[in-house]
Amino acid sequence: MSRSYACIVSPNAKEDKEALVSVAHQFAYSIEVLDDGILFDVSGLEHLIGKRSLIARKILEELQKHNVPGSVAVAETIETATLLARQNDGVSNVGHSPDTFQKLPLSDLPIERDTLNVFTDLGLRRVEDLIEIPREELIGRYGREFEEIIDIAEQKGSAVLTPNVKESEASWSYILDSPVEDFEQLIFLLNHGFDDLFVRIAHIGLSTEQLDLSFELSNRTKRNYEIKTSFPTLERSFWLKLINLRVSLDPPEAGIKAVNVIAHFTKPRPSQTGLYAVSRPEPQSLLLTVNKLKKLVGEENVGVPVILDQRAAEAFALDAEAMPSGRESIESGPAQPIIAFSYFRPPVRAEVLVREGRLVFLRTRYFSGHVIEYSGVWRANSKWWENSWKTQEWDVEVEAQGVYRLCKAGHEWFLIGEYD
């Protein structure tokens, strides 16, 4: 079975690379990007489109749709297609019959300069002149390496197409007959789509850790969701749950008319387990649980606590973007348990009896009692240049109650927390 290769040579090949690849993708999977164009295998398209000149014309039409200048050639060998396409550099033109190839100047073939000069002196200027000379004579004079050039001239080149365009994503889309308001109704559809999408990704030995989901809405707008995990996986049910949670947190404002999913490729995760490894939640399970919790209590209320490197009354925060890492540590904690502190949210308003500069009695809506012992006043302040804050605090032990942190703001007293 004869093969067919198409070559597009463009004067702006580097700038128009994406467009060229896009055109090539419409005709072939096997694509090689060249310095001045693109080469691809169009074998078999004769049955769909017709003879090579028709294929070349079709490719040229696509090029024109993309507004890319260039010349196209389709031939049986890679060398022939490349040389023919380079003939019309910069001009939109379809090449070419096999006869055209024979009219090409010898300077287009990869012949050494000295040899080429000799051929010119002998009056050999075109490919057709060279193939008139017996093959053995040429090989006898210029060596066995010259056989390759003769093969090219006779359109029997043996170059092999080396695909160098790697896909980085795969997509799946579906257009609905009528808009759907509730995303959950589309889960079965996505399930079907993921089946197809993930099989394609697994087929090339890759995985994904990012899905871009986009909805076309009935109000003529688009809604995009970027769903990432910290690990690659092709587990369909996991992705469906994650997408469902994500979309339910921030649902589209109108009916969904079309769904498009793009999966970005990444290497699959090597799984390694150990007999002595510390037990942790599976990454999928942890991510799903965190998303469920975010749906339950709000995104800003679930995360990893972090200590802030700043002087503030409460120098800590909740990092809602972070996930627990499960990192081992060589530092060990204190041998003895320490007294922990817990905040009251909101602080508890208190009435404090002060006699001769000493705290004597404390009353709140929950309890009251004599102050047995206290320490303070502890004064702190910072950020006097903007959003200034200052505190006056005491640690107080209340009779038959607990040990609390008492704070004075203006003329009012508050219990801000408890030592527990």
Partner 1 sequence: MRNLSLVKPASQLKEEQRHIEEILLESVGIGFFRGSVAEISGGPSSGKASLTLSIIAKLTAVGEICAVVDSAGGFDPPSAVLAGVKLENLLWVNCAGDIEKAFTAADHLVQAKGFGAIWLNLNRLPASKLKLVPKTYWYRYRTRVKDTPTLVIATADEPVTGSASQSAFVFSRERTEWSGSGRFKLLREFHIAMHSSKQFYGRPIPARLKADYRHV
**Residue 275 interacting with partner 1 (CB under 8 A):** no
Q: Which of 343, 351, 380, 390 is the binder for partner 1 (CB under 8 A)?
A: 343
Beta strands in 71-168 (DSSP E): 71-75, 93-94
| Residue 324 C-beta: closest distance to partner 1, Å | 4
**Residue 274 interacting with partner 1 (CB under 8 A):** no
CA–CA gap between residue 38 and residue 20 (Å, rounded):
7
| Residue 292 C-beta: closest distance to partner 1, Å | 5
**Residue 334 interacting with partner 1 (CB under 8 A):** yes
Burial class (CB in 10 A: 0-12, 13-18, 19+), 84: buried
Number of residues that bind partner 1 (CB under 8 A): 61
Strands of the 37-41 sheet, one edge to the other:
31-33, 37-41, 5-9, 71-75, 93-94
Of 191-199, 200-208, 231-239, 373-381, the segment contacting partner 1 by CB under 8 A is 373-381
Q: Which of 220, 345, 355, 379 is the binder for partner 1 (CB under 8 A)?
A: 345
Q: Which of 48, 249, 306, 353 is the binder for partner 1 (CB under 8 A)?
A: 306
**Residue 289 interacting with partner 1 (CB under 8 A):** yes
Q: Which of 267, 324, 380, 409 is the binder for partner 1 (CB under 8 A)?
A: 324
Residue 90, phi-psi category: left (phi > 0), alpha (psi -120 to 50), beta (remainder): left
**Residue 399 interacting with partner 1 (CB under 8 A):** no
**Residue 276 interacting with partner 1 (CB under 8 A):** no
Closest CA to 313 of 233, 388, 376, 411: 388
Give 192 or 292: the residue with its C-beta nearer to partner 1: 292
Q: Which of 61, 147, 226, 420 is the binder for partner 1 (CB under 8 A)?
A: 420
Q: Is 294 helix (H, G, I), strand (E, B) or coil?
A: helix
**Residue 143 interacting with partner 1 (CB under 8 A):** no
Both tokens of residue 15?
Answer: 């700038």
CA–CA gap between residue 146 and residue 152 (Å, rounded):
10
**Residue 288 interacting with partner 1 (CB under 8 A):** yes
DSSP 8-state class, residue 233: -
**Residue 64 interacting with partner 1 (CB under 8 A):** no
Cis before residue 348, ω within 30 degrees of 0?
no
Residues in contact with 38: Cβ distance below 8 Å, sequence separation at least 6, in sequence order: 7, 8, 13, 20, 21, 23, 24, 31, 32
Q: Which of 331, 355, 379, 385 is the binder for partner 1 (CB under 8 A)?
A: 331
| Residue 303 C-beta: closest distance to partner 1, Å | 6
Cα distances from 225 to residues 184, 200, 262, 326, in angstroms, run 15, 22, 11, 28
CA–CA gap between residue 62 and residue 8 (Å, rounded):
11
Q: Which of 296, 365, 379, 410 is the binder for partner 1 (CB under 8 A)?
A: 296
Q: Would you say 400 and 384 are in contact if contact means Cβ atoms under 8 Å apart?
A: no
Closest CA to 182 of 134, 260, 248: 248
Give 202 or 312: the residue with its C-beta nearer to partner 1: 312
Of 234-242, 246-254, 264-272, 366-374, the segment contacting partner 1 by CB under 8 A is 366-374
**Residue 245 interacting with partner 1 (CB under 8 A):** no
**Residue 316 interacting with partner 1 (CB under 8 A):** yes
| Residue 239 C-beta: closest distance to partner 1, Å | 17
CA–CA gap between residue 128 and residue 150 (Å, rounded):
11
Of 47-55, 90-98, 142-150, 289-297, the segment contacting partner 1 by CB under 8 A is 289-297
Q: Which of 37, 95, 193, 303 is the binder for partner 1 (CB under 8 A)?
A: 303
Binding site for partner 1 (CB under 8 A): 278-282, 285-286, 288-290, 292-293, 296-297, 301-307, 315-316, 318, 322-329, 331-345, 372-375, 395, 397, 401-404, 417-420
